[in-house]
Amino acid sequence: MKYFFFIFCCCFSFGSMAQNMYQERALKNISYLIRDSILLEQIKIDDQGISIYASSENKKKDIAELLITWDDVPIFLTHVVKENKKNITTEKIIRERQNVHQNFSLVEKEKPTSLKGVRIVLDPGHFAHNFKTAILERKFIKIHKKETGTKKDIEFFESDLAWKTAIILAKRLENKGAEVLITRKKGKSALGYSFLKWKNKLFKKELQKDLENKSINQEQYNWYLQKATDKDIYRYMNKKDLIERAQKINSFRPQLTINIHYNASGSSLNSEGYFSPTASNYCMAFVGGGFMKGELNSKEARLHFLRLLLSNDLEQSIHFSDEIIKAHTEIIKVPHIPNKNNLFYLNKNSVYTNIEGVYCRNLALTRMVQGVICFGESLLQDNINEAVLLSQKNYKESKIKTSNRVKLVVDAYEQGILNYIEN
Ligand SMILES: [Zn+2]
């Protein structure tokens, strides 16, 4: 008798706690997750739980793809998302409920309190292995010497800066006891190849696979084989690279992930192939969310959306990114992007988090990577002073020769990580 009473109490208190906690969280997170309110036509949040629909028509007909009651959220988060069960149904969740000892502390990832043993992923953006491929990748800086007053033209590329940042930062974090994974090697994509090697060895095989699993149709397949330029093939490879990065990161189960990027103002190339430098400079960071029209069209996207809505990943990612941005402004002395700005990708494709410099944006990696993430954009490479400083090799650490500005970016990430862990 005593035994039954105990179980009853547990279930009862767990039920109301789960409802309060997850419902509150979902209602708070929904504003970060949705950039276009049309997506609300695919979601229902009420006292019972959350329902997601494959289309707005299905919502009108009340045909939910998935109904997760508040009590079942821990089951969804532990047993569905973590194991990537894309064929999950409401019935399976209910069946799972019988097998699982419900304990929601299990899915509330706790913030680490020291760097010892913390698993951290450093994901250096892009993968060009030289300046020529960086042009294909469209992630390079080339500024005429007459603009900068230097002896030579300024030339460097983002993939190289990002990789050097990752190597130096990794060593420092490892020295403090962290376990670090870097998602790619120098000049190689996460797929293990440079662009040219991949193109020669794997491009046709990947196309064939995509044709077989119907990711592309025969017409697209033929177009890629006969008409695609290197730039088109690069873009195709880039998508594969991002998926590989996400898989590598998720299977490492990191507590923290940093995507390392250096930004540019987006000015266009002149006819001689040079960018004009800008006087402005700013840093920013992205976390998940900011889904736009059409971005809940696949089941995979809807599962990522639900994970972001119901877990504490988003809240912790915003907190983490806040610390990273603060450390950037203090150490590198680059200001965060002002809240009022005219950047299209912030005003139209992102949601402001109310934390300076931190935005929700539905990038491939901020969507696919589970856990706490900061997608950092440390500075503007084409800022006129920054460009000159970044092109210098006046700093050496961990056998890497680079610019003193890269050293400061490493300092900022390191300090940001420590502040996050300690606060
Ligand atoms: Zn980048």
- Give residue 8's pLDDT: 37
Element spanning 382, H or E: none
Report the pLDDT averaged over residues 15-35.
90
How many Å lie between the centroid of ligand 1 and the Cα of residue 195? 17
Nearest to 223 by CA among 214, 240, 211, 237: 211
Instruction: Measure Cα distances from 234 to 173, 202, 205, 217, 224 in Å.
Output: 32, 12, 15, 19, 11
How many Å lie between the centroid of ligand 1 and the Cα of residue 37? 28
Q: 111-115, 158-162, 179-183, 411-415 — which is least confidently predicted?
A: 111-115
- Number of residues that this document lists for the chain: 423
How many Å lie between the centroid of ligand 1 and the Cα of residue 28? 29
- Give residue 108's pLDDT: 72
User: Secondary structure of the chain: what % helix, strand, coil (to 5)?
Assistant: 50, 15, 35
CATH fold for the domain made of 119-192+228-422: Aminopeptidase (3.40.630)
- Is the per-residue pLDDT at 326 higher than 90? yes
Could you give the angle at the alpha carbon of 104 between the alpha carbons of 96 and 418, nearest 5°? 130
How many Å lie between the centroid of ligand 1 and the Cα of residue 261? 4
Instruction: Give the model's confidence band at 267: pLDDT under 50 very low, under 70 low, under 90 confident, else very high.
Output: confident
How many Å lie between the centroid of ligand 1 and the Cα of residue 138? 10
- Is the per-residue pLDDT at 104 higher than 80? no
How many Å lie between the centroid of ligand 1 and the Cα of residue 358? 16
How confident is the model over 268-285, as pLDDT tens digits?
Answer: 889 898 999 999 999 999
How many Å lie between the centroid of ligand 1 and the Cα of residue 370? 20
How many Å lie between the centroid of ligand 1 and the Cα of residue 194? 17
Domain ranges of the chain: 2-105, 119-192+228-422
How many Å lie between the centroid of ligand 1 and the Cα of residue 252? 22
How confident is the model over 83-97, as pLDDT tens digits?
Answer: 556 677 888 887 777
Report the pLDDT averaged over residues 368-376.
96
How many Å lie between the centroid of ligand 1 and the Cα of residue 320? 19
- Give residue 12's pLDDT: 43
Phi, psi dihedral angles at 169 (to 5 degrees)? -65, -40
How many Å lie between the centroid of ligand 1 and the Cα of residue 419? 25
DSSP code for 261: E
How many Å lie between the centroid of ligand 1 and the Cα of residue 211? 29
Nearest to 44 by CA among 24, 30, 28: 30
Report the pLDDT averaged over residues 113-126.
96
Average pLDDT, the chain: 92
- Give residue 80's pLDDT: 62
How many Å lie between the centroid of ligand 1 and the Cα of residue 162? 8
How many Å lie between the centroid of ligand 1 and the Cα of residue 283? 12
